[in-house]
Structure 1
Amino acid sequence: MRTGGDLVVETLAALGATTVFGEPGQHALGLFDALSRSGLRYVGCRTELGVAFAADGHARATGAVTPFLVSTGPGALGTLPALMESRLASVPVLGISSQIPADGLGGRRKGYLHELPDQAASFSGVVKSVRVVRSAGQIVPALAEAWKIALTAPAGPVMVEIPQDVLLAETALPVAARLEVTPRPLLPRAELIAAAADLLTQASTPVILAGGGVTRAGAQTALLALAEELNAPVATTFGAKGAFPWEHPLSLQSWLEDRHMTAFLEDADVLLVVGSGLGELSSNYHTMRPRGHVIQIEADLGKLESNHPALAIHADARAALEALATAAKGATRPFHRADITDSPGRDAGAARAAVREVLARVAERLDDQGLVLERAVLAAVDRALPEDAPSFWDMTILAYWAWSAWPRPMESAQGAGGLGYALPAALGAAAATGGPVLAVSGDGGAMYGLAELATLAQHRLDVTWLIVDDGGYGILREYMTDAFGAATGTELARPDFVALAASFGVTACRTDPECLSDDLARALRTPGPSVVVLPATLRMFAPTHLTPS
């Protein structure tokens, strides 16, 4: 007998899914029974929050839609913080939840377990789309539509709800064949590209700020070509690590919380912002005030000109950058020529010198703060992590350092800023890549993801979890002390993480800053799950005392 649940898992396979994450519940049992007849790999997590974070990590690792399965009411609602992160970071996740039997939909208040007056309404402000399926015939088209929406720029999460009785009912509908879903490309308007190219090629001091949309769109090559054509320095936002080569002579890196960097961006006569809404973290907490022309390329229509007036180009970052690079290469420019010594423009040598000067000022500021331990710990993690291994970071002081100073791609929960992201997202990525994968948490954030140690142990996923244990919410401790003179509610009781990991059969060790690199490298080289605990109190770097422009 085939059921509505079979239609769901068959459709996911036909759409290209290989792995599904989930947590069973009473109304969703028809989905999980169907998994037993499916070729899909199932990774069961211990909380619905972990399920959705794991799907997020898997989707980031693969660049493809990743589905998850949860139950009605509390099960579905438990995914909301993770779906908020996926939405703000443009990650394509497909959530499938059960619903109460169809006769109770529409606010009839039948008194079913887990019943909400309007479950879909809880998700409408968080995900890109919510669809409530009401019959078996709607399952395949609804899932195909959701898959397409999740992939369409800007990518993001979608939810599909299916009543319990529809999942359990027998169906004679045929197995879905291979489903080809091709999102409509979000291409830039030609006249806007021409106008932007004219501004950039005539600019004396162009600068590029690359956001996470560059990496999500796979636009790194186009960004490099445009920057080199324009001799334009490139800064990357915290969510855009890997968008531009860290050690390139035009790389301003990611020191966006530094007023030296903010001033440099403000002084550009043309600032090209691509794949970023210039939100709080990308604009030095809204202190940046560009004085020149701003060009903004953004796939999320709601973010266009949301913080600064700009020549607004609603487009996928890759398509727009490729078009701009082509237009700039064919343009005639009045400067940037080696034979014009009194050019008002910034030639290659001047651009590189300007980058070196800004980075030297940033380094001098850090040197004056005596942050030897913090810089050494981050460098030790960098040395230990294999070159191509992905890393996932919780909202913790070491992650805040990594946002600015980490020289390679990283994933963190900065979109929504919630805790508990690192471990489940890392296990999701490990399910995709085979590992090794690094997760980094503070002791406070670790408690949010602690249940997923059981998932690591059960599925033997190749994740190494680094926990920096400072006895509390370290960054909140700093914020409160700076603002009020003392911290309240930030000190935490916590378990012996090493003993706790061992109780799950997970290899664990306690380390110190001097041994961290070796201990972490050993754990990452050893297949399977492991935990490394670093007792250390790290400090954040202080902002410069330059006043905003």
Structure 2
Amino acid sequence: MRGADYLIKTLKDHQVDTVFGYPGGAIMPVYDALLGSGVKHVLCRHEQGAVFAADGYARSSGRLGVCIATSGPGATNLITGIANAHMDSVPLLAITGQVASNLIGTDAFQEIDTYGMSLSVVKHSYLVTHIEELPRMLNEAIQLAQSGRPGPVLIDIAKDVQMAPMPATTLAFCDDLRPNALSATSQQSGGESLQLATELLSTSRKPLVYAGGGVGLAKASELLTSFVDQFKVPTVTTLKGIGALPSTHVYNLGMLGMHGTKAANIAVQECDLLLVAGARLDDRATGDLKQFAPHAKVIHIDCDRAEISKLRLADLSLIGDMNSILTELMTSLSNRFKHQMAHEWRYRCLHNKKELGFRYDAPFSGIYAPALLKKLSDRCLQQQAIVTCDVGQHQMWVAQHMQFNASSQHLSSGGLGAMGYGLPAALGAKFAHPDHTVITVSGDGSIMMNIQELATLKRYGIAVKILLLDNQRLGMVRQWQNLFFEQRFSEVDLSDNPDFVEIAHAFGVRSHSINQSSQVDSALDEFLASDESYLLHVSIDPDDNVWPLVPPGKSNSDYIENNPNKTKAAPDSSQHKRPEEATQ
């Protein structure tokens, strides 16, 4: 067989049945091998769309996402999506074609140093210039992407290698490759650390769980929920950790950080013990690190030793498989004491959750985005709908006002914050879960970055619901310019947007537009009932902002609610225009 045939066979051997890509000269042998192979190829309309689709496929399913592109611009168009997967620890395999090996280094047509260009945004990169190298490199790449802390791996294959016949001796060697040779994770933490963790937790008066995206990646959400249930520990989540503990859980205080809930941020600042599970203490979550959780000791659970004490010094680390660690910790705690932890602390946290919660009784006729998203969430929570987000104000509104029972239901570009992620990620999620409702929430800025993927939806006849919140602005940038740049609005006006309903019609996608709150209920019913792709265009007020907000460089306790010159500590007798700017 040719190298390209071996590539496709190996993908099938690793249970890869769907790939996303865009063909070109240097990857043409692989596309030839795809014909009749049984591997489904989804032709996206841009390489960035393909890599984001593979990302959405991987996040929603837990399986390896695979994208394919040619050399030169094909490979460079993948880089943003590869970086996105790297920042959010998504198991992704990017396969790129390269010019023939004898042309590498000659500035050949569509030649680029894909290997060198990708090094900072992957777990590992491979450049295959000899057919004998392909089996080892390919199998390693597939396994490495999914082992330990997942992440993207790139394999760049010279065109002559794709076309070369596989030597019989090499094929014999392939049979000896061990599928799980690279699957081991960091060594499990010992019993002494577990005993110390038990001691810290059992003596804590104000314990708090801080759950990140690593919980979902480790498939440890069920165990985390059992831990919280058994010991009744209040919990906060990161953006990527949303769903690690069901949003409806009584002890879930919501997301912490820059746009976190007041209850979550107050709890973090007042706790005396922080149990960090699969989180990296990102700056958007912690605010000013020097003022973050000032009274708390930190127990950090993670499979990646590099994350321990990287930003906040951990008093104790438990490194290894999260399921094993949580199981042992629960057993140890159960044997150590019988009483419930910190009754007064729990009461305070739950009181804050109730009294400082969001309000949705907007006193105006226009559409209030948080209330709209709350209604959407109430309708689709029981359907186990998957929601993907672009980046901007709407992304934070989804995190604040929608509820999720699993982290695989909430797909959002966290670390990189890549606009244009939502639509192709929804496409990938729908291919992974054809029977699930898949919704993408986008803004008028983000949707334009990969709007060409509407053609992909139409081509494959798949039903993705697109909720487009249109304020004719780059909303988040405008909000920051309003608050921190003396209202000097620079390049955020999108009032010359095209007619998005007509654009959707041109792509053959059903669409409808609303601009009044009285239209919301019927529009959402039609939106969710559609058995084909549907774009619901929603006009909202450009002056609506995301609250609360922790200014950059400030403590999480110094959040702004509505007046940029006042914080929560300052008295305010004014009438609030927006309901989220007041407490119940």
Please, which moves more after superposition, 485-494 or 39-48?
Answer: 485-494
- SS at the partner of 1:391? strand
Spell out, residue by residue over 1:42-69, the C-alpha distance to the aligned partner (whole angstroms, 9 max, x if none): 1011111111100000001210112111
Say whether the 8 Å CA contact 2:256–2:285 is kept in structure 1.
no
* 1:277 has 2:280 as partner: yes
**Aligned counterparts, 1:216-295, within 5 A:** 216-256=217-257, 257-258=260-261, 260-284=263-287, 286=289, 287-295=291-299
Letter in 2 for 1:166: V
Letter in 1 for 2:440: A
Say whether the 8 Å CA contact 2:261–2:400 is kept in structure 1.
no
Spell out, residue by residue over 1:431-483, the C-alpha distance to the aligned partner (whole angstroms, 9 max, x if none): 11114310111010000111111111111122111111111211111111222
Work out the CA distance in 2 between the residues paired with 1:172 and 1:433: 39
Which residue does 2:490 correspond to in 1? 488
Match 2:130 to one of 118, 126, 135:
135
* 1:329 has 2:331 as partner: no
Q: Check 1:213–1:248 CA distance in 2 against 1; reply closer, same or farther (3 A cut).
A: same
Please, which moves more after superposition, 189-198 or 365-374?
Answer: 365-374
Letter in 1 for 2:106: K
* 1:390 has 2:386 as partner: yes
- SS at the partner of 2:120? coil
Give the deviation of 1:328 after TM superposition: 1.4
Work out the CA distance in 1 between the residues paired with 2:189 and 2:230: 21
Say whether the 8 Å CA contact 2:261–2:357 is kept in structure 1.
no
**Aligned counterparts, 1:76-475, within 5 A:** 76-105=75-104, 109-116=105-112, 118-171=113-166, 173=168, 180-181=179-180, 183-186=183-186, 188-190=188-190, 191-256=192-257, 257-258=260-261, 260-284=263-287, 286=289, 287-310=291-314, 311-332=316-337, 336=339, 346-347=342-343, 350-363=344-357, 373-385=368-380, 387-408=383-404, 409-434=409-434, 435-475=436-476
Which residue does 2:554 correspond to in 1? none
Letter in 1 for 2:324: A
Letter in 1 for 2:332: A
Letter in 2 for 1:168: M
- SS at the partner of 1:451? helix
Match 2:535 to one of 527, 531, 534:
531
Match 1:497 to one of 476, 496, 500:
500
- SS at the partner of 1:54? helix
Work out the CA distance in 1 between the residues paired with 2:288 and 2:465: 33
Letter in 1 for 2:489: A
- SS at the partner of 2:107? coil
Spell out, residue by residue over 1:372-428, the C-alpha distance to the aligned partner (whole angstroms, 9 max, x if none): 823311112213436211010011212212223322141111221110000000000
* 1:32 has 2:31 as partner: yes
Work out the CA distance in 2 between the residues paired with 1:92 and 1:364: 35
Structure 1 runs not aligned, ≥5 long: 338-344
Give the deviation of 1:504 after TM superposition: 1.4
Letter in 1 for 2:111: E
Match 1:541 to one of 538, 547, 561:
547
Say whether the 8 Å CA contact 2:128–2:156 is kept in structure 1.
yes
Give the deviation of 1:515 after TM superposition: 2.7
Q: Check 1:171–1:29 CA distance in 2 against 1; reply closer, same or farther (3 A cut).
A: same
Give the deviation of 1:121 after TM superposition: 1.3
Which residue does 2:577 correspond to in 1? none
Say whether the 8 Å CA contact 2:5–2:30 is kept in structure 1.
yes
Q: Check 1:368–1:533 CA distance in 2 against 1; reply closer, same or farther (3 A cut).
A: closer
TM-score, normalization by structure 2: 0.86
Say whether the 8 Å CA contact 1:471–1:494 is kept in structure 2.
yes
- SS at the partner of 1:415? coil
- SS at the partner of 1:358? helix
Work out the CA distance in 2 between the residues paired with 1:155 and 1:195: 29
Say whether the 8 Å CA contact 1:232–1:351 is kept in structure 2.
no
Work out the CA distance in 1 between the residues paired with 2:209 and 2:24: 48
Say whether the 8 Å CA contact 1:58–1:431 is kept in structure 2.
yes
Q: Check 1:260–1:245 CA distance in 2 against 1; reply closer, same or farther (3 A cut).
A: closer
Work out the CA distance in 2 between the residues paired with 1:429 and 1:521: 22
Q: Check 1:364–1:410 CA distance in 2 against 1; reply closer, same or farther (3 A cut).
A: closer
- SS at the partner of 1:330? helix
Work out the CA distance in 2 between the residues paired with 1:352 and 1:283: 22
Give the deviation of 1:14 after TM superposition: 0.7
Spell out, residue by residue over 1:63-107, the C-alpha distance to the aligned partner (whole angstroms, 9 max, x if none): 0112111111221111111111111111100001011111233xx
Say whether the 8 Å CA contact 1:127–1:157 is kept in structure 2.
yes
Please, which moves more after superposition, 53-62 or 303-312?
Answer: 303-312
Give the deviation of 1:317 after TM superposition: 2.7
- SS at the partner of 2:518? coil
Letter in 1 for 2:412: S
Say whether the 8 Å CA contact 2:128–2:134 is kept in structure 1.
yes
Q: Check 1:296–1:366 CA distance in 2 against 1; reply closer, same or farther (3 A cut).
A: farther
Structure 2 runs not aligned, ≥5 long: 550-558, 560-566, 571-584
Please, which moves more after superposition, 455-464 or 508-517?
Answer: 508-517
TM-score, normalization by structure 1: 0.91
Q: Check 1:499–1:361 CA distance in 2 against 1; reply closer, same or farther (3 A cut).
A: same
Work out the CA distance in 1 between the residues paired with 2:358 and 2:24: 56
